Structure 1
């Protein structure tokens, strides 16, 4: 059985192309592998942005935290546990203003924890979440994925690799506000269908 973590980030609800693609992919992969899906919807904007107190709490060993630090670190602990338990991560992420949505950066700041999801070594940082597969379903209105103005896809791919997740596939429906937008969505949908059948 495969444990699939589905992370969605679009603020557009059911109208979201990235969410539609990622939902179809996560559901299809679960059906194909008799797996389970845990869904984390970042668009609810319930994650805190890391400040000095949260940073200190996250950097303190669980047994040494004060009661306040335990409360501050709880959401990071939960998000990290979701990643650790997953065999496959499916991310539905739109490109906002050429980059990653702010709430995805907030998620990244909470799950990047030295000694837990990565470690500092004499040879530099080493990701501790190895052996996982990730898919990123991307939607953009005008930004071409892989172009010089796409700062989201390379950043998110690099970040996953930093955590040790190097097997990453990008499925893009990009430039969907253009004249061939429907074709781009259909192509991405066909890719999802191929991966899940």
Structure 2
């Protein structure tokens, strides 16, 4: 059995194509997970909706607690890290993480950044030792985890080599901290052109859904072969 963690970050509660003013990224993550379940009904699915239930942002109390040895933390420190503990436990348990990460003003939604800040934890998801000199950090996530970033953009040309590629802070902004903690295998599925609408947007959605389906088929086939 594999364990999937679906993280939706859109501020829109519904799915495009189904609900008025629905989210393209929720549409993609739902399609991905539903198709996955058609292939592998026994796999576990955990859904974390940071868009509708945002994690608390990191503050001074969080930092103080996180950088205090676990055996020296006060009850207040443990309480401040309780949400982070839950989020990191979900990540550590997952084999595949599916992110619904729309682009807001070139970057990821604030709740998703809060999730990132809560799961990048010294002694939990990354290690730190000053005695290692210029390389004091190392990733602590178990090997073999994968991630899929499903994003949506209003304009065009944000993909690799595109005219707006340098302005995409969503995919690099997620991939960099994921690599830092040891999650190196990242796939991307994107819808572009939301602001244009019409046939151009419809074609972008269809292409993204085809890519999502292909990715599910490839990953589930690999999982089945590894049994």
Shorter-chain TM-score range: over 0.9
Structure 1 counterpart of 2:195: 177
Structure 2 counterpart of 1:36: 44
Query: Where does 1:117-156 land on structure 2 (aligned, <5 Å)?
Result: 117-120=125-128, 122=132, 123-129=135-141, 130-142=143-155, 144-146=157-159, 147-156=165-174
Query: Where does 1:87-102 land on structure 2 (aligned, <5 Å)?
Result: 87-102=95-110
What do you get for the CA RMSD once the two structures are aligned? Answer: 1.6
- Structure 1 residue 25: Cα displacement: 1.1
Matched residues in 2 for 1:144 and 1:113: separation? Answer: 34
1:2 matched to 2:2? The reply is yes
Deviant stretches of 4+, over 3 Å: none
Deviation readout 1:143-182 (Å, 9 max, x if unpaired): 5333111111111111211110110000011222225111
Matched residues in 2 for 1:54 and 1:161: separation? Answer: 23
Q: Closer, same or farther in 2 for the Cα pair 1:46/1:151, shift >3 Å? A: closer
Larger radius of gyration: 2
Q: Closer, same or farther in 2 for the Cα pair 1:103/1:119, shift >3 Å? A: same
Gaps of 5+ in 1: none
Give the secondary-structure state (helix, strand or coil) at the position aligned to 1:188: helix
Q: How many residues align?
A: 197
Give the secondary-structure state (helix, strand or coil) at the position aligned to 2:101: strand
Q: Mean alpha-carbon deviation: is it higher for 167-176 or for 28-37?
A: 28-37
- Structure 1 residue 71: Cα displacement: 0.9
Q: Mean alpha-carbon deviation: is it higher for 91-100 or for 120-129?
A: 120-129
Matched residues in 2 for 1:195 and 1:149: separation? Answer: 25
Gaps of 5+ in 2: 15-21, 160-164, 218-227
Matched residues in 2 for 1:52 and 1:131: separation? Answer: 33
Matched residues in 1 for 2:205 and 2:55: separation? Answer: 30
TM normalised by structure 1 equals: 0.93
